[in-house]
Amino acid sequence: MDLVNEPKTKRGMETLDRIAKSAEFLFSEKGYFDTSIVDIARDAEVAQGTIYIYFKDKKSIFQYLVKNLGQSLRDEIRSSIKNKSTRYNLEYIGLKTFLDFVKDHVGIFKIIWQAQFVDMGLFTEYYEEFSKSYIRGIKKAQEDGEMRDLDPQVLSYCFIGIANFIALKYIIFDDNDNYDEIIKSAMDFIENGAFKKN
């Protein structure tokens, strides 16, 4: 099912972008259930009927946002790690790119986590797509002898969890924009673990 009627003109794309940005802001500030189509239209400075040119209803806008944000984030990470050689470097740059993306889209957590109450299938799909990408990279790193032979799916969700909660603490809670030492600590943990070896 198509979530959006893709515009064929530059002006149409600009209107769609305004609607999406307004929805992202309002869903993150007021929540999905307390945001109406009227609110989105007012914030985007378009007629209410204009929204229905692009979207069937409010839920379609929400689903579009979640899918679009997820795809944009995966594309950005994929692009940033393209020419990195080792799995360690891939993880390091990937984590930094993720934090930068969250800083630019601070509402992403509120929107994504609301999805479990709006559309649980969408919420599941969002994280499963990230896991699939991770699993491919982990398997290759295991084949190359860079990573231990642990369950790739378990590892993928460990990495996702680390990135998510670091972003939640240091960007959403603390509004921090200097991640260097944070990333170093996280990567030290990823590389060496938390326990001393006897």
Q: What is the CATH number of the domain that holds 47?
A: 1.10.10.60
State whether 113 and 42 are in the same domain. Answer: no
Residue 198 within any structural domain of the chain = no
Alpha-carbon gap, residue 118 to 116, rounded angstroms: 6
Judge if 84 and 55 occupy the same domain. no
* Residues 170 and 97 placed together within one structural domain of the fold: yes
Which whole number is the average pLDDT over 159-183? 92
Q: Share the mean pLDDT of the chain.
A: 92
pLDDT tier, 159 (very low <50, low <70, confident <90, very high otherwise): very high
**Greater confidence, 95 or 178?**
95
| Residue 178 banded pLDDT, cuts 50, 70, 90 | confident
Q: Is residue 158 located within the same domain as residue 75?
A: yes
pLDDT (average), residues 130-154: 94
pLDDT at 49: 95
In this structure, the answer to whether residues 100 and 152 fall within a common structural domain is yes
Instruction: Quote the tokens at residue 143.
Output: 């084949």
Amino acid code (one letter) for 192: N
Task: Give residue 194's pLDDT.
Answer: 84
Query: Could you give the number of structural domains in the chain?
Result: 2
Instruction: Calculate what percentage of the chain has a pLDDT beyond 90.
Output: 80
In this structure, is residue 100 part of a structural domain?
yes
Residue type (1 letter), 18: R
pTM: 0.87
d(CA 142, CA 113): 31
Q: Are residues 104 and 56 in the same domain?
A: no
pLDDT per position as a tens digit, 44-77: 999 999 999 999 999 999 999 999 988 999 999 9
Closest CA to 172 of 102, 115, 76, 70: 102
User: What is the residue range of 26's domain?
Assistant: 10-60
Residue 4 lies in a domain: no
**What pLDDT does 118 receive?**
95
